[in-house]
Structure 1
Amino acid sequence: MMLGVGEYEIPKGKLSVVVTYLEMTAPQPVRAAPAIKGFSMRRVTNPDVAWYRDLFRRVGALEWLWHSRLDLDDAELDAILTDPAVHVYAAQLDGQDEGIVELDFRTQGLCELAFFGTTRSLMGKGAGRAMMNHAITAAWAEPIRLLHVHTCTADHPAALAFYQRSGFVPVRQTIDIEEDPRLTGMVPRDSGPHVPIFD
């Protein structure tokens, strides 16, 4: 259905976000990133479901209402994480996993930067630039013609500009309306305090 110009009321109990889709059609130069004491990146092969859920929650669910992977049961999630075309990296600070970079190559010739973010312990340190440099380098090391990502208005307010500075170009937008995960119990009610709850 095509939406006309106008104002649309969102039903109570729903979460609405504007999603921006971005693409990169050729490798972009890496951006200078500060040296961070104790910071490192590691590839996690065949990630354990419990480990992944913990990091996913700490990075995205509690702050930014990420929940798509929490909606999956263990078998569904394990099938994704153990697929050789899905590459999961953890950003570490002093040996603790505090960030995630997930590259999905399951569609031939394409790579989706499926998840990207850090916990508060890495925010404001320049870790995002180092992680994006790693993501771009790893993605374009494979035979792809396109790297794509999406972000929404529930994400960090600087996310869209960060992706654009990294070389991604916005190509389309959608409005997504879904069940509010705070009301279904998928994430705690006090998650994503920057997004109001209507119940």
Structure 2
Amino acid sequence: MLSEGFHDVPAGAAAAIVTSLEMFERPAPRPEVENPGWTLRRMPSPTIEEYRALYTAVGRDWLWFMRLRMPDAELAALLADPVVEVYRLEAPGGELGILELDFLEPDTCELAFFGVTKGLVGGGAARWMMNRAIELAWSRPIKRFWVHTCTFDHPNAPQFYMRSGFKPFRREVEIIEDPRLAGLAPLDSAPHIPVIRPA
């Protein structure tokens, strides 16, 4: 447990506050854009290259890194697992979204990754995709649906999840090697998180 007060983060690292949220029953759907022209398509057993291209397109500005540093064999096995479902949101103009549902834990679904590219932010695509995520998760015999977000993500993410029916239950501090300095992300990605290089 961290004591109250400030704690140094090493140069070359980045730190985030992680909030986990959960729901135990399917909520009523939130209002959404009608006939938006978006398509949500499942990607059964996507290749590593297909998956990482989508993951990077959506997560570049939010410093998503977990799937980029995961060994290829481990990621390939995860993507081939029938209890992991990856969906691609396609929108006019080439904008994209990713929805990844993980049913690995019994009676549980984790919203492992969820997001849209910059051109779709604020236009209703995330709400539309969240309504589909809730439908898909609760179409299985689960008892709990959960997600975590962090201060690397869009600042409205916690409120968005809470409006969707999730309730916060845990807060953690995560310290990681900065993916930009590790060569996993461009140096100009996630400009809201300054890079601090080691001396």
1:36 shift after superposition: 5.4
What aligned pairs does 1:151-170 form with structure 2 within 5 A after superposition? 151-170=149-168
- The number of equivalent residue pairs is 197
Structure 2 partner of 1:85:
83
Q: Which residue of 1 aligns with 2:42?
A: 43
Contact 2:95 2:119 in 1 (8 A): no
Instruction: Give 1:126 shift.
Output: 0.1
- Corresponding position of 1:19: 18
* Secondary structure of 2:69's aligned partner: coil
* Structure 2: stretches of 5+ with no match in the other structure: none
List structure 1 runs of 4+ shifted beyond 2 angstroms. 35-38, 94-97
2:193 aligned partner, one-letter code: V
Measure the CA separation in 1 of the matches of 2:24 and 2:90: 29
Q: 1:69 matched to which residue of 2?
A: 67
Q: Please report the RMSD computed on the Cα atoms of aligned residues, expressed in angstroms.
A: 1.3
- Tell me, what secondary structure is at the counterpart of 1:184? coil
Residue in structure 1 matching 2:169, options 161, 168, 171: 171
Deviates more, 1:163-172 or 1:6-15: 6-15
Instruction: Give the corresponding residue for 1:192.
Output: 190
Choose the corresponding residue for 1:147, options 145, 148, 152.
Answer: 145
Q: Which amino acid aligns with 1:146?
A: R
Percent identity over the alignment?
Answer: 48
User: Could you tell me which residue of structure 1 aligns to residue 31 of structure 2?
Assistant: 32
- 1:152 Cα deviation from its structure 2 partner: 0.3
TM superposition shift of 1:121: 2.5
One-letter identity of the residue aligned with 1:85: V
Change (3 A) 1:53 1:44: same
Q: How does 1:88-167 map to 2 (within 5 A)?
A: 88-94=86-92, 96=94, 98-167=96-165
Aligned to 1:134, the other structure's residue is in SS state helix
After TM superposition, the score normalised by the length of structure 1 is: 0.95
Q: 1:191 to 1:95 in 2, by over 3 A?
A: closer
- Structure 1 residue identity aligned to 2:167: V
Unaligned runs of 5+ in 1: none
Task: Supply the AA of the counterpart residue of 2:25.
Answer: A
